[in-house]
Structure 1
Amino acid sequence: MNIIILLIGILIVIVTNMDALSTILRINGGSKISNFVARNVWRTSVFISGKFSRVSILSNVGPLIVVTLFSLWAVLLMIGYGLIYNSYVHSIVETSTELPASITAKFYYVGYTLTSLGNGDLKTGNDFWRIISNFTGLNGMFLLSIAISYFIPLMNAVVKQRMLATYIANLGDTPTEIISNGWNGTDFNILHEQFKDLYPMILMQCEQQLAYPVLLYFHSENPKYSPQLNLAKLDEALSIQEVYNIDQSDKAYIWNNLRKAMNKYLKVTKNSYSFKTETVPDFPYQSKLESLTNQVSKETAKLRLATLKDRRAFIASLVKNDGWKWEKSMS
């Protein structure tokens, strides 16, 4: 028996199972391997879509990443168990001749054992390897079952995040429009009620993103259904309130509550996403909301805006990485 090959095989099987279970069953933002694969599939897709000016490519990346992850786990299990069986010459033998199976034949045996499609042309060499074969089949059946069960709640989460994006989009097409539509000439009571509904929706989005990290990569060609784009617009509207203090009523705390929900969303996203940070975008809202923003001096507004520099740079990167252009989307 080749101990080194055996240990490498066992290590691959353990890591693969831990990665799959961590991604599917734990609410922790996904595992390192899965997140690494997902990020790089997305980056490659963004690069290709930019080269060929085909943003529609990105709408297929979410399902592609899911299939890629499941395929990766299946291939790694085949490699891991294949190495385990190949660590011993007589682990698998041919049924008709009782001769040791070849290296490739053992990988073939692993493939049909994992999928429970055994056809009888190969068999285990002794009772020990029969037990290992049982574990192989159970492992394959278990991961296949939980992977299939992963699809339905994932699709429900995709629908809910599209609902969130649509809700925000209906408030206004730009940050200034969100504020203008919520101002009745006296107060922001209209916006207050809508913000109250948005608060639990954003918190739900945070939890869904932790449970299903691939949600970040479900792109929509229609900006109305893009959660990243519309949450960026909402955060800009909240920044306008923070910089210019446009709502000084006793219900201004509602803006702060929504800001806290957005803080959590950005924290969850930062832990899952990794990309080059963009430059801080302009903040050209004062002239468009002059009647509401003239209560704060330019110096005070400038100081407050400076504290939001890193936040807005990250959000701008999030928007760009999702295939959108900040200037066209915010004005």
Structure 2
Amino acid sequence: MADTLLIVAGVLLVLAVYGDALATTLTVGGAGPLTRTVLARLWRLLLGLHRPDSSSKLLTGAGAGLLFTTVLLWVAGIWAGWTLVFAGSDTVVDAQTSLPAGFADVAYYAGFTVFTLGVGDFTASDPAGRFVTALASFGGLFLITLAITYLLSVIGAVVERRAIAVRINALGRSSGEIVAKGWNGSSFSSAFVQQLVALTGQLSTTAEQHLAYPVLHYFRSGQPNTAAPVAVGRLDDAMLLLRAGVAPDARPDDSAVDPVRDVIARYLETASATSTAAPAGTPPAPDLAALRAAGIPAVTDEEFARAAEDEEPRRRLLHQLVKSNGWSW
């Protein structure tokens, strides 16, 4: 006798899992509610066990583990859902004896149906059951294909994210050094300006990837020189120096600096959506000493301090993002 409650529960579970998977993989608006909640809680737990600035493998390997967990959640969810549907419908029977299958046998049948084409030792006893079996098989194939495509896309995004960090790090290991290396003795070199323009496009891609692949935030680099949040924070401080620390008559054109700042703002918006760290305080403002040592005309310390104060909300968000990735400013 059919158990309507089991069937309804199974259908709801299957729909919830497929909805979460589709929201995570096919929409550019963040993860589905199940994926978002589980991953955020697991990452928060790992972050609490991690020492800031440590290069241990606890967080370094967490990204791959959480990505695998995402797929595992979907697999377990649809398996459990179809098991409830088949168990409630009483349609699964032993292929040899035609006796109704027990719950464990139904779970076995559901697993083989969803992820393969079955092995033939159990079968559906009526046309409706055979139709549901075909539907479950198609849905399982669709989910696995979707998951594999998502995995490959995320790995590609991780590589691009680390590449942008390496490129920023090559400009300088501090915000002051980035600005100082761009100075040629009388002005900022055209090559430096071109590098800033090129960074704008790369940063915009990384920003949108954070929105398309929320799990990207949980891929933490083992070294600070390949950590994107650290590099972006350093770059933003460099843009603050160029915009407000360098004397007005020596600054590069706003068309080179402002787009970088706008793209970093977009990066903050998308990457902070998955940040799990508590709100952070304002980090120390960059120092004008590196500019003066390089012979770059600079404003007074008081004038720069006022400009840095105006940027506190933005810099607090950057600080929070760095902390949520297991690093210090």
TM-score scaled by length of structure 2: 0.91
Please name the residue that 1:18 is paired with. Answer: 19
CA contact (8 A) 2:93 2:123 kept: yes
Maintained 8 Å contact 1:187/1:247: no
Residue 308 of structure 2 aligns with an amino acid whose one-letter code is: L
The aligned counterpart of 2:218 is 217
Native 8 Å contact 1:209 1:216 kept in 2: yes
Letter of the 1:286 partner, please give it.
L
What SS class does the counterpart of residue 81 from structure 1 fall into? Answer: helix
| Aligned counterparts of 1:273 and 1:19: Cα–Cα separation in 2 | 20
Q: 1:257 aligns with which of 252, 256, 259?
A: 259
| Superimposed CA distance per residue, residues 129-167 of structure 1 (whole angstroms, 9 cap, x where no aligned partner) | 110010111111111112122233322222211211111
Deviations 1:239-258 (Å, cap 9, x if unpaired)?
22344354544613311111
Residue 207 of structure 2 corresponds to 206
| Residue type at the aligned position of 1:213 | P
Aligned to 1:74: 75
CA 1:293–1:308: 2 relative to 1, 3 Å = farther
Distance verdict in 2 for CA 1:274–1:238, change over 3 Å: same
Change (3 A) 1:246 1:143: farther
The separation in 2 between residues aligned to 1:172 and 1:161, in whole angstroms, is: 18
Partner of 1:43: 44
Q: Distance in 1 between matches of 2:270 and 2:297?
A: 32
Q: Aligned to 2:51, what secondary structure does the other structure show?
A: helix
Q: SS of the counterpart of 2:123? A: strand
CA apart distance, 1:41: 2.4
Q: Displacement, 1:287? A: 3.8
Change (3 A) 1:276 1:166: same
Change (3 A) 1:163 1:250: closer
1:284 CA displacement = 4.5
The structural deviation recorded for 1:54 is: 5.9
Contact 1:55/1:323 (8 A) holds in 2: no
Deviation at 1:307, TM superposition (A): 2.4
Equivalent residue of 1:128, what SS? Answer: helix
Residue 9 in structure 1 maps to residue 10 in structure 2: yes
1:325 to 299, 323, 328: 328
Q: Does residue 307 of the first structure (1) align with residue 285 of the second (2)?
A: no
Unmatched tracts of structure 1, length 5 or more: 327-331
Aligned counterpart for 2:275 among listed residues 263, 273, 276: 273
Structure 1 stretch displaced more, 289-298 or 68-77:
289-298
**d(CA) in 2 for partners of 1:261, 1:317:** 18
* Shift, 1:292, TM fit: 4.6
Q: Give the secondary structure class of the aligned counterpart of 1:123.
A: strand
Confirm or deny: 8 A CA contact 2:276 2:324 kept in the other structure. Answer: no
In structure 1, what is the Cα distance between the partners aligned to 2:135 and 2:8?
16
Instruction: Check conservation: 1:114, 1:139, Cα contact below 8 A.
Output: yes
Cα separation, 2, equivalents of 1:165 and 1:262: 13
Match of residue 126 from structure 1: 126
Q: Structure 1 residues 29, 238: CA separation in 2 closer, same or farther (over 3 Å shift)?
A: same
Distance 2:32 2:116 in 1: 27
| 1:295 corresponds to | 299
Give the secondary structure class of the aligned counterpart of 1:76.
helix
Secondary structure of 2:93 counterpart: strand
Equivalence for 1:63: 64
> Against the structure 1 CA distance between its residues 85 and 44, is the aligned structure 2 distance closer, same or farther, given a 3 Å change threshold?
same
Residue 238 of structure 1 aligns with which residue? 239
**CA distance in 1: counterparts of 2:214 and 2:109, whole angstroms:** 33
SS of structure 1 residue aligned to 2:61: helix
| Deviation digits for residues 158-216 of structure 1 (CA, Å, limit 9, x no counterpart) | 22112111110000001111111112222222421210110100111122222222221
> For 1:256-300, what per-residue CA distance to the aligned partner results, in whole angstroms no more than 9, with x for missing partners?
1110111111111122323211111121513443465742461x4
* CA pair 95-234 structure 1, distance change in 2 beyond 3 A: same
Equivalent residue of 1:170, what SS? helix
Q: What residue in structure 2 maps to residue 154 of structure 1?
A: 154
* Alpha-carbon distance between aligned partners in 2 of 1:270 and 1:151, rounded to the nearest angstrom: 22
Q: What is the TM-score with the length of structure 1 in the denominator?
A: 0.90
Supply the distance in 1 between the matched residues of 2:160 and 2:254 (Cα, whole angstroms): 27
**Whole-angstrom distance in 2 between the partners of 1:93 and 1:246:** 82
> What letter corresponds to residue 274 of structure 2 in structure 1?
S
Given that 2:165 and 2:227 are in contact with CA atoms closer than 8 Å, whether structure 1 keeps it comes out as yes
Judged with a 3 Å threshold, the aligned counterparts in structure 2 of structure 1 residues 244 and 134 are, in CA distance, closer, same or farther, namely same
> What residue identity is the alignment partner of 1:140?
G
Q: Is the 8 A contact 1:245 1:296 kept in 2?
A: no
Q: Secondary structure at the match of 1:289?
A: helix
The residue aligned with 1:87 is 88
- C-alpha RMSD over aligned residues: 2.1
283-292 or 212-221: bigger deviation:
283-292
Query: 1:6–1:84: 8 Å Cα contact kept in structure 2?
Result: yes
